[in-house]
Amino acid sequence: MTRNHVSTTVNGDQVEFLCETQQTLLEALRDELQLTGTKEGCGTGDCGACSVMVDGRLVCSCLMLAVEAEGKAIETIEGMAKGEKLHPLQKKFIEHAALQCGICTPGILIAARSLLTRNPDPTESEVRFWLAGNLCRCTGYHKIIDAVLDAAREMRGA
């Protein structure tokens, strides 16, 4: 079968890749572009480990075909730190020990950043509802929520 040629932007860089029609964006990111920071958890849109931004929208990359990325702007965890400088959310996740195995962390960071972009001062309840689609089987969530709220405070300069 002919492979599809896709031209897209990932973390601000113009990239091109070839993919099968039924390949998901998650598979293309990991297997074609070697951007393995985005994780596969369930593969059915329930766990959020594969969360990425597509044209400014938080989505599960396992629920999107790679060919749909044509002409879109994709943002993944690899674009979150600027060189050696961690994003405030990344710093706070380390400070609060908001991760154990780390599989859910890239997706949670991407989801949390999308919340703070829309709402710089969320309540605890708003953080919990926004992250309802990101499952963590290690931490019990409290440290994750604390880290997001603390990062929000720091980013507001409060």
Partner 1 sequence: MALLAGGTDLLIQLRSGRADPELVVDIKAIAEMRAIAIDAGGYCVGAGVTCMELIEHEAFARSWPGIVDGAKYIGSIQVKGRATLGGNLCNASPAADGVPSLIAAGALACIAGPQGRREVPVAEFATGPGKTLLAPGELLVSFLLPKREPHSGDAYLRFTPRTEMDIAVVGAAVNLTLDGKGVCSQARVSLGAVAARALLVPEAAAALIGSKVDAAALARLSAAASAACRPIDDKRGTKEFRIKVAGVMAERAALIALERAGRHN
| Residues binding partner 1 (CB under 8 A) | 21-22, 24, 43-46, 48, 51, 54, 57-60, 62-65, 67-68, 111, 114, 129-130, 132-134
* Smallest separation, CB 82 to partner 1 (Å): 25
Q: Rank residues 33 and 62 by Cβ distance to partner 1 and give the closer one.
A: 62
Rg (CA), the chain: 16
Nearest to 40 by CA among 117, 116, 135: 135
Containing 13, the helix (H) or strand (E) segment is: strand 13-19
Q: Rank residues 59 and 151 by Cβ distance to partner 1 and give the closer one.
A: 59
Give the burial class of 29: count Cβ atoms within 10 A of its Cβ; 0-12 exposed, 13-18 middle, 19 or more buried: buried
Q: Rank residues 10 and 67 by Cβ distance to partner 1 and give the closer one.
A: 67
* Smallest separation, CB 83 to partner 1 (Å): 28
Under a CB-based contact definition with an 8 Å cutoff, are residues 43 and 111 in contact?
no
Nearest to 137 by CA among 110, 89, 109, 104: 104
* Smallest separation, CB 48 to partner 1 (Å): 6
Q: Rank residues 7 and 129 by Cβ distance to partner 1 and give the closer one.
A: 129
Nearest to 66 by CA among 38, 36, 26: 26
Q: Rank residues 67 and 147 by Cβ distance to partner 1 and give the closer one.
A: 67
User: How far is 112 from 148, CA to CA, in rounded Å?
Assistant: 7
